[in-house]
Amino acid sequence: MRTVDLIVGHHFDLLAKRAKDIAAGGVLMSALFAVIIGSLIFIPRFIELLN
């Protein structure tokens, strides 16, 4: 996102803020999906190990 900062300069730009917020939301969603998929894969194996 440094490129957005360089293009915008030193003034506030609402479009740049929205682009950064959307990118951050995408990263957050990817992390949440990774946790969900990892849980679906590994929790049954951990339960099997404990029994």
Known binding-site positions for ATP: 20-21
Measured CA to CA in angstroms, residue 20 lies from 6, 38, 41, 50 at distances of 13, 27, 32, 43
- Cα–Cα dist 34/51, whole Å: 26
Residues making up the binding site:
20-21
The residue with tokens 């360089």 is 6
